[in-house]
Structures are given as C-alpha cells and as structure tokens.
C-alpha cells in the first residue's frame, strides 16, 4: 500500500509543473499591460516603464517564471499589483468557494448515487425514467442558466430564498444554508446527473455478474445484495468520475458566484483578470490545481482500497 501511495504522489508532480507553466504562459497571452492599468490613462511612458520595473515585468519570461516558482516553493504566493498579499486575498475568498463546492458535492452525492443505484438495480422502472428525466433537465440546461432561473423563481417571484450574498456558516448556520441552497443546486445538478448515469450503468453491469446471482440464490434480500455485494464493486468507476468532476465544479463555482453575487474566488479571479494582475491569477489558479490534484489522489487511494487488484497493478 505504501508503494502504491508513493507512486500516486510522484505522478502528481509533473501535473503541477505542467499546470504552472501553462498558467504562466497563457496569462502572458492575454492582451493588456498591468503597468498601464495600474498607472492610469494619464500616465507618461516613463511612469509606465518605472512601474513595469517595480513589478518585475521587464525581465524575461524565464526569469519571471523562475521567480514565481521560487516564491511558491517558499510558501509565498506573492502580492497583487496593489501590494495586498495573495494569501490574504485567498483567506478572505476561499471559504465561500470551498463552502459552495462542498455543498454542491453533497447534493450531487445525496441525489445522484442513490437515484443511479435504484435505476441500475431496477432497469426500465419508474426509477430509471426518473433518472432519465433528471439527467435531461440537469445536463441539457447550462448551470448559469439554471442559476438564473432558480434565482428568478424561488428568490424573486416566490421570495423563499435570498438572492445574493453569503453568510458564514459559523456565525449563523441557518441563514448560511438558506444562502447556499440555490447556488448549490445550480452547481451540483449537473454533477448529480453525471453521477447518476455512471452509477446506473455500473450497478446494472454488476447486477448481471455470476456472484450476484449466487448471492440471490442464497436467499438474500434485494437491498442486501445491492449493499453488501454490488455497491462496493460498482463504486470504483463512480469514485473516479466524482474526483474528475472537481475541475468542472471549481470552474462552475466561478460562474455561479457571479450569478448569486457570492464573494468567493470567482469574483477574485474575474477582478484580477480585469486588472491584469498576473500574480493573483497565477497563484489562485495554481491553488485550484493543487486542490484538483489532491482530490484525484484521494480518489486513487480510495478505489485502491476498495479493489486490491488496482494496488497490485
């Protein structure tokens, strides 16, 4: 098991390196100059050049990249063009995004997996039709449009839920959950549909195996066969898909936070891009990449634990 864990850890290092290079280079292709944005429209060329020198933008790209990676290696995320530490900006914005992502994941797991299990264990039943209808509605409508519709119907017309903002879970749990319900559904609906379809396919395939027929011939009840024998084997591909979807959830959170006016990493990234604040965008994106890699590593370890054959391979 230790060798399996070490292999997975080593595989994550090239991903982080390539991601850092991609983030660094892509941002340099975005039109605009952060020095001009910071200096203002009335600044002289000499003032702009001085600001570029202060920000280190007049150095070559390899030098800028090496300086940034060196800061990351020391645990220093750098500072914005206005002198605010990125770690402080993330400290203020990350809890909202993580809170939304976790709520969306909990919703997706609570709805998608049970619905997929029932549909897979009972093909062509009402459960199967319900999953198909839910999938059609969730995947067929973009998450931002779902958010706008939920906001209009349940927030504006009916007034059941707040339409904007965020309240800390620790200060007022009830109000915080009220602010989370609509954006969590808008963000997690697509993931719930994906999980439901994969779970349905996996469970239906497992239910046709010989060991399932043997368990049924012993007189075990349907729910016992599913929980004890089918579910453990069916969850291996589902865990993989769940981990891979973290990238879509984090990207979707950026959009959903704008729809519901939540003060999270989405707003931070959008404002940093508008200001051409390279350091903030680079460091924020690399933090998201680290979260993605850690979640996928956790998924690798989870299905390695569920299926010893994966560890041996």
Q: Give whole-number Cα distances, 79 to 29, 57, 161, 170, 265, in Å.
A: 21, 14, 37, 29, 16
Domain spans, the chain: 93-312
Question: Which pLDDT score is estimated for 88?
Answer: 84
Can you list the pairs that 166-169 forms with residues at least 24 positions away whose Cβ atoms lie under 8 Å? 166/96, 166/99, 166/262, 166/263, 166/264, 168/95, 169/99
CA distance 39 to 43: 6
Q: Convert the pLDDT of each residue in 187-210 to its tens digit.
A: 888 888 888 888 888 777 777 666
179-201 exposure pattern, b = at least 16 Cβ within 10 A, e = fewer: bbbbbbbbbbbbbbbbbbbbbbb
Identify the pLDDT of residue 313.
54
For residue 201, the model assigns a pLDDT of 80
* 204 Cβ contact partners less than 8 Å away, ≥ 6 residues apart: 119, 120, 121, 123
Class at the top of the CATH hierarchy for domain 93-312: mainly alpha
Can you tell me the distance from the alpha carbon of 278 to that of 262, in angstroms, rounded to the nearest whole number? 23
Q: Encoding tokens for residue 224? A: 């016992």
pTM of the model as a whole: 0.71
The whole-number mean pLDDT for each consecutive block of 10 residues of the chain, a chain of 313 residues, reads 66 77 74 63 68 69 79 77 78 83 86 82 79 80 80 80 76 79 85 83 73 65 65 71 74 80 80 76 81 74 59 53
Query: Which pLDDT value is given to residue 228?
Result: 65
Task: Confirm if 185 and 150 have CB atoms less than 8 A apart.
Answer: yes
Q: pLDDT per residue over 96-142, tens digit each?
A: 888 888 888 888 888 888 888 888 777 778 787 888 888 887 777 77
CA distances for 281 relative to 251, 293, 295, angstroms:
14, 18, 21
Contact criterion met (CB below 8 Å) for 234 and 120: yes
């Amino acid at each position: 098991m230790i060798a399996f864990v070490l292999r997975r850890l080593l595989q994550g290092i090239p991903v982080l390196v390539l991601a850092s290079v991609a983030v660094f280079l892509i941002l340099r292709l975005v039109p605009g100059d952060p020095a001009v944005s910071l200096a203002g429209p009335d600044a002289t060329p000499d003032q702009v050049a001085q600001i570029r020198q202060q920000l280190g933008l007049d150095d070559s790209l390899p030098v800028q990249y090496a300086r940034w990676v060196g800061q990351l290696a020391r645990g220093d995320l750098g500072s914005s063009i206005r002198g605010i530490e990125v770690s402080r900006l993330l400290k203020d914005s990350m809890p909202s995004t993580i809170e939304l992502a976790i709520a969306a994941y909990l919703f997706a797991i609570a709805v998608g997996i049970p619905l997929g299990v029932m549909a897979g264990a009972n093909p062509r039943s009402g459960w199967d039709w319900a999953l198909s209808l839910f999938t059609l509605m969730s995947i067929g409508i973009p998450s931002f449009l779902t958010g706008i519709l939920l906001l209009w119907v349940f927030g504006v017309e009916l007034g059941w839920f707040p339409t904007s903002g965020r309240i800390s879970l620790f200060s007022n749990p009830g109000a915080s959950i009220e602010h989370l319900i609509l954006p969590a559904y808008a963000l997690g609906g697509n993931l719930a549909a994906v999980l439901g379809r994969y779970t349905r396919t996996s469970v239906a395939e497992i239910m046709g195996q010989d060991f399932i027929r043997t368990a049924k011939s012993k007189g075990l009840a349907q729910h016992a066969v599913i929980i004890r024998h089918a579910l453990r084997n069916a969850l291996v591909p589902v865990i993989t898909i769940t981990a891979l979807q973290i990238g879509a959830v984090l990207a979707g959170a950026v959009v959903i936070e704008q729809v519901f006016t939540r003060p999270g990493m989405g707003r931070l990234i959008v404002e940093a891009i508008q200001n051409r604040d390279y350091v903030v965008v680079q460091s924020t994106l690399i933090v998201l990449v680290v979260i993605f890699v850690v979640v996928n590593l956790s998924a690798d370890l989870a299905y390695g634990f569920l299926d010893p054959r994966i560890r041996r391979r």
